[in-house]
Structure 1
Amino acid sequence: MQLSVATILQDSAARHPDRTAIVEDGVRISYRTLWHEVLGFAAELQDRGIGPGDRVAVLLPNTADFPRAYYAVAAVGATVVPVHALLVADEIAYVLRHSSCRALVSGGPLYPVAESAAAAVGIEVIGVSTGREPLARPAPRGADDTAVILYTSGTTGRPKGALLTHLNLVMNSAVCAQDLLGLTPDDVVLGCLPLFHSFGQSCAMNSALRAGATLVLAPRFTGPGVLELLIAEGVTVFMGVPTMYHALVEAAVHDPRRPAALRIAVSGGAALPGALLERFETTFDTVILEGYGLTETSPAATFNHRDRRRPGTVGHPVWGVEAGIADADTDRRIVLVEDGEVGEVVLRGHNIFAGYLDDPEATAAALVDGWFRTGDLGTRDADGFLTIVDRKKDLIIRGGFNVYPREVEEVLARHPAIAQVSVIGLPDEARGEEICAAVVLRPGVAPTPEEIVAWSRERLGRHKYPRVVRMLTELPLGPSGKILKRELQEVCA
C-alpha cells in the first residue's frame, strides 16, 4: 500500500487552497502557497541528488521553514530526521552520523551550530529555498517505509533513533484531528510546542494541516506572549505541557483579558497536577483534556474525550490502539495484571514505531509479544480509564517502601505558597533513598523548608512525605517544557 506523510498537506491544499495554513509573526500563508513552496524546495533537494531512501536532518526553529522542509523531504521520498534545537554541535554530529544523513537543512539562529556539526560529519547544510520549478508530484512511498527518525532524549545514555513509518504518522494525525479534537478548517491551533518534538510535530502541526485548520507558530514560549497570541489570533485549540499551563495562569494574574475563542486545551508530555488543571480551567473558562503518548507511539496513545473525561487520568486508548497493564517485573514476556493493580503500561496498534535504528537489542527489549513496553507505571480502573503513576526509573524506594513522586507532587501542588514542584529521590545510607521536594514559590510568600515538611507530614503517609525541601528560583526544563529530573537530582544533591 502506498502512503506518504506529504499527502497530509497535499490533500488539504487541494481541498482548501485559499484558507490560511500557517501564521508566523502576523504573516499568513495559504495552503496553496505553502504546498507550492514545499514542492519548490523538494525540487531543490532532488536536484542535489536526494531521493527515496535518503535521510535528511532538519534543524529549524518554530517558523514556516520547518513545515516547508519537513514536507519537502517527505515529498522527494526521503526520511526526515528532526534535530533537537538545544543540542550542541558534537551532539548534533552524533545524530547526523548515526542516522547517515545526506544533508542538514537549517537556517536562522541555528545555522552556525548546524554548519559546525555538518562540517564535522562531512555533509552540506542547505537553506530552505522555494524559487525552483515545483516538483510535479510527491514521490510514492510504502505505508511501512520510514518517514521520520525521532531521537529520544538520551536520559539513559546515547539517544536512540525511533523509526516512525508513514502509516504511523498519517494515522496519528487523522486520529488526533478527527476523533480526539474534532478539528475543522475553522479551527486555529497554536503551535508553541517545539516542532522537532513528537507532540508539536504530530499532534499540532500534522493534525492541524490534516484538518485544513490554521496553525499559528510561536518560535518562543512566554506566558504573556502566548496569552497575547491566544487573544489576537482567535486560537480555538491550545496544546501544551504542564509548565506552559503554569506560565499562562501566572500571566493571567497580571492581564485581565481572556481568549474568547478557546474551546479546548490539550495537556501531554508530563503529569498535570490537579490543582493546576482546576486553576487553568477556572481562569480560562475551558476544559483541559489530558492525553498520553511517547515518541515511539507517534505519539498519541490514550486520551480523554469531552464526553468521556476523568481529570487525573489519561483517558482511554485512541482509535485502533490497545492498552494494557503488565507485570513490571517480567521483562521477557507480557503478563497482564488485573484492573486496579499497578504495573507497566503496554501498548499495541497502528501507532507503534518500527524499532530503534541499528539497535536490535533495544528494539527487542521494547517490543515484546507484539506489545510496546513504555517504561511507565500505571493502573486501569473498572471503567477503562488509564492513570499514569510514574516512570519506572523515577520510582523512589525509601526504607523498602515504594513512593511514587507524582502522588507526592499532587499533594504539594496544593500548598498555597508553592507555584511549581518536582519530587525526586536522593541517595541515603540509612534508607536507600530519601524523598526530596524541589519547589518554586509564588511571589510574596516565604515559608521555610521546615514549614513545608510539617505541612506535608499532615497530608501524606509517614513513608511518603519529603524530609528534604530545596527552594529553587526555577526548575530545569527541556525544550518541550518537561522537568529534567536527572539535572534536578544534581542540583538538589
Structure 2
Amino acid sequence: MDHSLSYKDLPWSKHYPDGLKQNLDYQRIIIPEFLARNANEFPDTVALIFEGYQINYATLKQMTDQFSDCLHQFNIQKGECIGLILPNIIPCVVSYLGILQIGAIAVFINPASSDREMEHQLNDSEASMIITLDLICNRIIDLRPRLVNVQKIIYTSLGDYLPFSKKISFSLLGKRRKISVSVQKAPNVYQWKDLFHKQDDFTFQRNVDLKDVAIYQYTSGTTGASKGVVLTHKNLSRQVQQLQSWFRFLEIGNERIIGALPFFHIFGLSAVLNYSIANAWTIVLLPKPHPYPLYDAIIRHNISIVPLVPAMYQSLLDCHSLDLSKMDAIKLYLSGSEALNIETIKSFMKQTSCPIIEGYGLTEASPVTHIMPPGYLKRKMGSIGLPLPDTLCRIVDLETGENDVPVGEPGELVIKGPQVMAQYLNRPIESSCTIKDGWIYTQDIATMDQDGFFYIIDRKNDMIISRGYYIYPREVEELILYHPKVKETCVVNYPCSEQGEIAVAFVISFGNVHIPSQELIDCCAGKIPDYKIPKK
C-alpha cells in the first residue's frame, strides 16, 4: 500500500471509463425540460408501457402540460407541496412531471405506509394536495381531518390506462372477486380522468430555476426516524447527467428499461424515471415486481436495462424454473439500495451473459455516488466502485470524524458532490450533524484501496465493539455464507460483562438441516482474528 496516497489525489479518476473526466460540463436543464426536448426529437418513441397500454413522448408531454395546467387552475403555487401516494402507473409519471414543471414540490409516499407515517409526512411537508389510487382513496379521505394543510384529493384507477381487452378483463375480474371500488363522496375530491377532459393545451408558464426545490424524499436518513430530504432540480439534473456520462454505451432514444423499482423510492425515481426521461427511453411499468411477471416482462418487451435491488435478483435465482439465459437483450444490470451478496453476483453471472453492476448511494445524495466500472468486476469483487464525476470522497476516523484515516484503513465514508442535499426539511440540528462544510456523513464504515475503489464494511450503528476492538457484522456474515449448508445469516451484538459485546450469529440452513455451532466457528478460524469469530 502506498502510504503517501491521499484522498485529495482522486486516485479513482485514473480508472474511469475511457474518455470520462473528473469534472463534467453540465447542461442547465431540469427534468421536465429533458421531456420537452425529447418530445420534439423523439415524438413517436414509446415513453411508457403499462399492461400493454402505450404512450409516446409526444403524448406524455401533452399529458404533462395538461396536468400542469390543471394544477394552475387549482391555484397551486410555486414551492407548494403535493403528495404522490401511487404505485408505478402512468398517472404517477404524469403527475410528477407536471408538478415539477410548474415549480411545485413532489412528495412521494409509499402507498403501504401506515396512517401514522402518512400523516407525519404529509403534515411535515405541508402538502396541500394528494394524488392517489382509488383503492386507498377512502382511507385518505378518512385521514384528512388530521392533515393540517390538505385541501384537495385526486384519485386515479389501475384501469384508467389499459388496452380495451384488458379493461374488460379488469372489470370482469373485479366482479368475479366481488371487488368494488366506490370512493365516498367528499368535498374537493376529484377523479383523474375527469380533470383531463376539462383541460386543453398547456397555456401557463412558470420560471423554474435549478436552485428551486424539486422533491421532499422521506427517509429514515443516516440517523433517526423519517425525515424529508430536500433535493433541488439541480441535484436531480446533475445526477442524471452523471449517470449519462458513466454509461455512454447506452443509446439515446433506443433502450427499454424495466420500471420495477418503486418511484416512491429514490433509487427508482432517479435511476429509472428521471434517467429514462432524460434519454428518451421506454419504461415498462411494473407496479408489483414478483419474479414471474418480472421475468415475463423482461423477455416480452426485449428489456435492455434492468435496475433492481438485491432481493429481486435473488428472487429470480430462487425460481429455478426460470431460464435466465433467455434474458439476452440486456445490456446493463444495475443493483443498489443495499449490498449485493457476492455469491448472488457469482450465481447470476453463471446464468446470464451480462454481469451485475453494483453501485452505492443514499437518499441524501439523489442517491448514487459510486458505481463499479464494468471492466473491473472480477478484479474488484465486492467493491461499490468509484465515485461519480465531481464527487469527492474521504474516509475519516470514527472517533472525531475530522481526520482522514490512511488509505486502506476503515473509517466513516463522507461525500461531497452536486447530487448531495443541502439539508433535511424542518430538521436544523440533524442537518448540521449530517452535513458539515458540504460533506455528508454517511454513517457507513468503508475503506478505499490504492486504486480508488471503495468497499463498504458495515453500518456504523451495526458495529460491534468487543474489548475495544471493532467487529463488522457484514465481514463475518460474508465468511459464514461460504459454508455450503448456510442459506442466510445475520451477525448481531450481544451484551457481555467481560468483553462489553460479543458477536452472535443467527443462521438459516438449506433444508433446515442442523449445523453444529463448532462447525461454523471452525469455518471462520484462521480467516479472521479470534475476537471477530461469533461466540454463539
Are the aligned partners of 1:60 and 1:108 in contact in 2 as well (CA < 8 Å)? no
Aligned to 1:160: 227
Matched, 1:463 2:489: no
Are the aligned partners of 1:6 and 1:138 in contact in 2 as well (CA < 8 Å)? no
* Higher relative contact order (CA closer than 8 Å, sequence separation 6+): 2
Matched, 1:85 2:121: no
Q: 1:133, 1:305 → 2: CA distance?
A: 46
Q: 2:427, 2:234 → 1: CA distance?
A: 22
Using the TM superposition, give the Cα deviation of residue 445 of structure 1 relative to its aligned residue in structure 2, in angstroms. 5.1
Are the aligned partners of 1:143 and 1:166 in contact in 2 as well (CA < 8 Å)? yes
Are the aligned partners of 2:489 and 2:506 in contact in 1 as well (CA < 8 Å)? yes
Determine which of 44, 53, 67 is the counterpart of 2:79. 53
> Which residue identity lines up with residue 448 of structure 1 in the other structure?
I
Aligned to 1:318: 388
> Which residue identity lines up with residue 143 of structure 2 in the other structure?
A
Q: 1:307, 1:137 → 2: CA distance?
A: 48
Partner of 2:153: helix, strand, or coil?
strand
Q: 2:506, 2:145 → 1: CA distance?
A: 41
Q: 1:182, 1:421 → 2: CA distance?
A: 38
Distance 1:451 1:70, change over 3 A: farther
Q: 2:418, 2:110 → 1: CA distance?
A: 25
Q: 1:174, 1:182 → 2: CA distance?
A: 14
Q: 1:311, 1:170 → 2: CA distance?
A: 30
Aligned to 2:336: 268
Partner of 1:436: helix, strand, or coil?
strand
Superposed CA offset, 1:290-344 (max 9, x none):
111111101111111123542211111111211111122214xx32222111111
Determine which of 224, 231, 236 is the counterpart of 2:299. 231
> Which residue identity lines up with residue 320 of structure 1 in the other structure?
D
Partner of 2:312: helix, strand, or coil?
helix
Equivalent pairs counted in the alignment come to 464
Aligned to 1:125: 153
Determine which of 217, 228, 247 is the counterpart of 1:150. 217
Normalized against structure 2, the TM-score is what?
0.82
Aligned to 2:278: 210
Matched, 1:400 2:400: no
Are the aligned partners of 1:183 and 1:213 in contact in 2 as well (CA < 8 Å)? no
Q: 2:507, 2:49 → 1: CA distance?
A: 37
Using the TM superposition, give the Cα deviation of residue 355 of structure 1 relative to its aligned residue in structure 2, in angstroms. 0.5
Aligned to 2:244: 177
Partner of 1:324: helix, strand, or coil?
strand
Q: 1:191, 1:47 → 2: CA distance?
A: 31
Matched, 1:293 2:361: yes
Aligned to 1:381: 449
> Which residue identity lines up with residue 66 of structure 2 in the other structure?
G
Superposed CA offset, 1:165-212 (max 9, x none):
101001111222342364322211112111111100001111012111
Matched, 1:39 2:39: no
Distance 1:204 1:15, change over 3 A: same
Partner of 2:424: helix, strand, or coil?
coil
> Which residue identity lines up with residue 386 of structure 1 in the other structure?
F
Report the identity percentage.
Answer: 28
Deviates more, 1:126-135 or 1:311-320: 126-135
> Which residue identity lines up with residue 207 of structure 2 in the other structure?
P
> Which residue identity lines up with residue 73 of structure 1 in the other structure?
I
Aligned to 1:423: 491
Q: 2:372, 2:147 → 1: CA distance?
A: 44
Using the TM superposition, give the Cα deviation of residue 10 of structure 1 relative to its aligned residue in structure 2, in angstroms. 2.1
Using the TM superposition, give the Cα deviation of residue 277 of structure 1 relative to its aligned residue in structure 2, in angstroms. 0.6
Matched, 1:109 2:135: yes
Partner of 2:375: helix, strand, or coil?
coil
Q: 2:89, 2:506 → 1: CA distance?
A: 34
Matched, 1:256 2:284: no
Q: 1:174, 1:117 → 2: CA distance?
A: 39
Are the aligned partners of 1:60 and 1:110 in contact in 2 as well (CA < 8 Å)? no
Superposed CA offset, 1:121-143 (max 9, x none):
15222224433213236532111
Are the aligned partners of 1:322 and 1:347 in contact in 2 as well (CA < 8 Å)? yes
Aligned to 1:95: 121
Determine which of 39, 44, 52 is the counterpart of 1:26. 52
Using the TM superposition, give the Cα deviation of residue 392 of structure 1 relative to its aligned residue in structure 2, in angstroms. 0.6
Q: 2:331, 2:341 → 1: CA distance?
A: 21
Aligned to 2:206: 139
Distance 1:304 1:268, change over 3 A: same
Are the aligned partners of 2:42 and 2:57 in contact in 1 as well (CA < 8 Å)? yes
Q: 2:304, 2:95 → 1: CA distance?
A: 26
> Which residue identity lines up with residue 144 of structure 1 in the other structure?
K
Are the aligned partners of 1:148 and 1:164 in contact in 2 as well (CA < 8 Å)? yes
Are the aligned partners of 2:521 and 2:534 in contact in 1 as well (CA < 8 Å)? no
Aligned to 1:347: 415
Deviates more, 1:63-72 or 1:102-111: 102-111
Using the TM superposition, give the Cα deviation of residue 55 of structure 1 relative to its aligned residue in structure 2, in angstroms. 0.9
Are the aligned partners of 1:453 and 1:467 in contact in 2 as well (CA < 8 Å)? no
> Which residue identity lines up with residue 241 of structure 2 in the other structure?
A
Determine which of 453, 458, 461 is the counterpart of 1:390. 458
Aligned to 1:330: 400
Aligned to 2:374: 306
Distance 1:399 1:467, change over 3 A: same
1:415-454 matches, within 5 Å, as 415-442=483-510, 444=511, 446-448=513-515, 450=517, 453-454=520-521
Distance 1:287 1:120, change over 3 A: same
Matched, 1:410 2:478: yes
Q: 1:452, 1:223 → 2: CA distance?
A: 34
Distance 1:405 1:113, change over 3 A: farther
Are the aligned partners of 1:324 and 1:346 in contact in 2 as well (CA < 8 Å)? yes
> Which residue identity lines up with residue 44 of structure 2 in the other structure?
D
1:5-20 matches, within 5 Å, as 5-20=31-46
Are the aligned partners of 1:61 and 1:110 in contact in 2 as well (CA < 8 Å)? no
Aligned to 2:13: none
Q: 1:412, 1:262 → 2: CA distance?
A: 32
Matched, 1:369 2:429: no
Superposed CA offset, 1:250-302 (max 9, x none):
12x22235211012211111111111111111112211111111111011111
Are the aligned partners of 1:8 and 1:206 in contact in 2 as well (CA < 8 Å)? no
Q: 1:248, 1:455 → 2: CA distance?
A: 32
Q: 1:241, 1:335 → 2: CA distance?
A: 33
Using the TM superposition, give the Cα deviation of residue 155 of structure 1 relative to its aligned residue in structure 2, in angstroms. 8.1
Distance 1:286 1:64, change over 3 A: same
Distance 1:248 1:266, change over 3 A: same
Structure 1 residue ranges without an equivalent (≥5): 469-493
Aligned to 1:479: none
Are the aligned partners of 1:417 and 1:445 in contact in 2 as well (CA < 8 Å)? no
Aligned to 2:161: none
Distance 1:288 1:256, change over 3 A: closer
1:178-193 matches, within 5 Å, as 178-180=245-247, 182-184=249-251, 185-193=253-261
RMSD over equivalenced CA pairs, Å: 2.2
Q: 1:14, 1:440 → 2: CA distance?
A: 54
